[in-house]
Amino acid sequence: MSFKDLKIIKPLLKAIEASGYSEPTLVQQRAIPPVLEGRDVIVSAQTGTGKTAAFALPILQQLFDKQDAPKRGKKIRALVISPTRELAVQIQQNFKNYAQFSNLRSLVVFGGTSIEPQIDVLKKGVDILVATPGRLLDLHKQDYINLDHIETLVLDEADLMLAMGFIDDVKKIERLCPEEKQTLLFSATIPYKIEELAKTILKDPERIDVTPTKSVAQDVSQVLYYVPKRRKIELCLHLLRNEIKGNVLIFRRTKFGVNKLEQRLAENGYKVDSIHGDKNQSDRQTALNKFKNGYVKVLIATDVAARGIDINKLDNVFNFDMPNQAETYVHRIGRTGRAGNIGKAYSMCSADEKSYVKTIEQYINVQIPIETEHPYPLDPKAKPIVHKKKGSKYKKGRKSVASKKKKKRWY
């Protein structure tokens, strides 16, 4: 099947050709026709499947015939909500790229950066707005955004929006848009709460499922190291020195862990950077750019911060902490080995993480090959280290409601 078969119009075909795509991906083949027909869709697809173009192309096509003069009096007619800033930036870059042979304008707005430049562009008028929920509501409250003319609303990475606590904001945004509109919901997984949300805001949606079979991409070779928790950093350094070739994305569960590892690797002379929820937008983007353009070879991230980020050439993924969800393992390692490159996925498992490995292996239906030849083997009889709760020395309920609200996110 070609993009022409999907009835994509010429200006978009030209942009697709310029991007070097020869044929539509599976999610594009299945989602573009119903979206062009104006139907609501629920798509389960992960990043890396080409899902952004699966909604961006038909949205642009629907707007193309109705486009206004280059700048004057534009109204926002398509709205894409994205949970993270990086993802929002990426989505808008896609729109900008595919719209290069049209008058259609897009803008991305997100928190953590100055609001004024975003207001300036909004005043000039845009057709498509990509936004994170908080900043969108903020701008709407200040009357810089009018959602009365929205024809298509996209909720991207809906499951992540749920995980990050944005679901009420999303519902609020949906209610601010006209009732008569097309709604497209994209999510890597469809948990119960997303199903419920879909029931309330989508009309007779077409369901499209392109989640890869649970099996992990064929072109990722996996290897597992059993290691005591306290020796993980040494093993990590050993592997960086002796095994790992090319760039590596290291996953840790918490931002505290990310910072600690970053410090140790830097002390050992590695050019390293990191992304997690506590870093501001510009630092996160800088870190990502440095990694993408090869200035740093090691990037350390939490799952949530790294979710959805598209890194074209990623040689290795390193699970410093084993993920406690099998899906997360598949997500993480699916980032390497793309586009015909062979990727490598290293995992380190300590005594307390053994049960995670079992669950992962059942889920992917593969036994991950174990490497025993390394300097820090785990005693097979080793018991997980149990941290006894000492209890707080302060009285319960000591914190005020206000300070509890300020509780920092862990991701």
Measured CA angle at 16 (ends 12, 18), to 5 deg: 115
Is residue 134 at the binding interface for ligand AMP, with CB under 6 A as the rule? no
- Tokens representing 378 are 């785990």
- Total interface residues for ligand AMP by CB under 6 A: 12
Asked if 25 interacts with ligand AMP (CB under 6 A), we say: yes
Query: In the chain, what's the furthest Cα-to-Cα distance?
Result: 72
**For residues 330 and 83, what is the distance between their CA atoms, to the nearest angstrom?**
20
| Nearest approach, Cβ of residue 28 and ligand AMP (Å) | 6
169 binds ligand AMP (CB under 6 A): no
Per the CB < 8 A criterion, the answer to whether 147 and 124 are in contact is no
Q: Does 228 bind ligand AMP (CB under 6 A)?
A: no
Separation between Cα atoms, residue 274 and residue 323, nearest integer Å = 18
Q: Where are the beta strands (DSSP E) in 31-139?
A: 41-44, 78-81, 106-109, 128-131
Residue 260, token pair as written in the block: 């600690």
Count of CA atoms in the C-beta half-sphere (13 A) of 276: 23
The single residue among 8, 11, 51, 122 that binds ligand AMP, judged by CB under 6 A, is 51
Q: Which amino acid is at 242?
A: N
Q: Any contact of residue 319 with ligand AMP (CB under 6 A)?
A: no
Q: How far apart are CA 164 and CA 405, in angstroms?
A: 15
C-alpha dihedral sign at 287, 292, 297, 302: positive
Give the count of beta carbons closer than 10 Å to the beta carbon of residue 399.
12
User: Among residues 97 and 286, whose Cβ is nearest to ligand AMP?
Assistant: 97
Q: In terms of CB distance, is 276 or 335 closer to ligand AMP?
A: 335
50 lies in the binding site for ligand AMP (CB under 6 A): yes
- Nearest distance from residue 60's CB to ligand AMP, in Å? 14
Task: Write down the least CB distance from residue 188 to ligand AMP, Å.
Answer: 10
Q: Which long-range contacts (CB under 8 A, 24 or more apart) does 216-219 make?
A: 216/330, 216/333, 216/334, 216/364, 216/366, 217/333, 217/334, 217/337, 217/338, 217/343, 218/337, 219/337, 219/340, 219/341, 219/342, 219/343
| Binding-residue pattern over the window 264 to 303 for ligand AMP, x denoting contact by CB under 6 A | ----------------------------------------
- Please report whether residue 49 would count as binding ligand AMP according to CB under 6 A: yes
Contact call for residue 21 and ligand AMP (CB under 6 A):
yes
Under rule CB under 6 A, residue 259 binds ligand AMP: no
Among 13, 14, 33, 48, binds ligand AMP (CB under 6 A): 48
In the complex with ligand AMP, the residue whose CB is nearer, 1 or 385, is: 1
Q: Does 53 contact ligand AMP by CB under 6 A?
A: yes
Residues 306 and 275: beta-carbon distance below 8 Å: yes
Which residue in 29, 44, 47, 92 binds ligand AMP (CB under 6 A)?
Answer: 47
Considering beta carbons, is residue 41 or 378 the nearer one to ligand AMP?
A: 41
- Comparing CB distances to ligand AMP, the nearer of 13 and 237 is 13
From candidates 29, 44, 52, 118, binder to ligand AMP by CB under 6 A: 52
Decide if residue 24 touches ligand AMP (CB under 6 A).
Answer: yes
The CA distance from 226 to 376, in Å, is 8
Nearer to ligand AMP, 232 or 332 (CB): 332
Q: How far is CA 8 from the centre of its chain?
A: 27
Residue 377, interface with ligand AMP (CB under 6 A)?
no
- Does the footprint of ligand AMP cover residue 211 (CB under 6 A)? no
Q: Which residues bind ligand AMP (CB under 6 A)?
A: 21, 24-25, 28, 47-53, 310
